[in-house]
Amino acid sequence: MNDDLFKDMRTLLKHAIMSEIEGYTFYDLLSREAENKEAQKRLEGLRDDEKRHREILKNLFEKHVGGTLGQLPLSGITPLAKAFDAGKLKKFNSEIEYINLAIDAELAATQFYKEGATKVDDAEFKDVLTELSEEENGHYEILMAEREALAGNYYWFSLDDSAPLED
């Protein structure tokens, strides 16, 4: 990861906030496209988490940096920016492509927050970044399970014979 992102709290937080905005936009647009109600609810949950994360980061900015937030970077630290085209979600060939992009984004966010937590001295700031890393990792795990379900690999624990797992 680019060390310039961690050079100061202002830079770290601005990139993180932009990433959360991209995540919110991505999951919001995707939830509107979802025809399956359960998928729509999961996407809305991820969207709402991104909004909550953004608020947490804005509060950190106000407390630890102060002043106005000002201009945010053009894109965050995740690959989600490439999913947008003129404010709309690009059309991909399959749901798997959307999920793979989201998985990559959640993994990047997990790593960003985890690394950020190792670079800050303030205990509260470190705790928040660690918590965000854990939540983004939870999103990653949810999306991995969704991808496996779409690929038809959700029967792993329902084998007819449990013996292969007990050897």
- Domains of the chain: residue spans and CATH: 3-152 (1.20.1260.10)
∠ CA(73), CA(133), CA(3), 5° rounding? 45
pLDDT score recorded for residue 164: 44
One-letter amino acid of 77: I
**Dihedral angle, C-alpha 55, 58, 59, 60, nearest 10 °:** 120
pLDDT score recorded for residue 130: 96
More confident residue, 44 or 148: 44
Give the tens place of pLDDT for each residue, 11-42.
Answer: 899 999 999 999 999 999 889 888 888 888 99
Asked if 60 and 125 touch (Cβ cutoff 8 Å), the reply is: yes
Q: Using 50, 70 and 90 to split pLDDT, how confident is the model at 71?
A: very high
Phi and psi based region of residue 75 (left: phi greater than 0; alpha: psi -120 to 50; beta: remaining): beta
Nearest Cα residue to 23 out of 2, 48, 6: 48
Asked whether residue 113 carries a pLDDT value surpassing 90, the answer given is yes
Question: Cα–Cα distance between 114 and 129 in angstroms, integer?
Answer: 7
Asked whether residue 75 carries a pLDDT value surpassing 80, the answer given is yes
Q: Using 50, 70 and 90 to split pLDDT, how confident is the model at 73?
A: very high
Q: What is the mean pLDDT of residues 80-105?
A: 82
Nearest Cα residue to 57 out of 15, 97, 92: 15
Asked if 50 and 23 touch (Cβ cutoff 8 Å), the reply is: yes
pLDDT score recorded for residue 1: 60
pLDDT score recorded for residue 158: 43
∠ CA(18), CA(87), CA(134), 5° rounding? 35
pLDDT score recorded for residue 94: 78
Q: Which residues contact 12 (CB under 8 A, 6 or more apart)?
A: 5, 6, 116, 119, 120
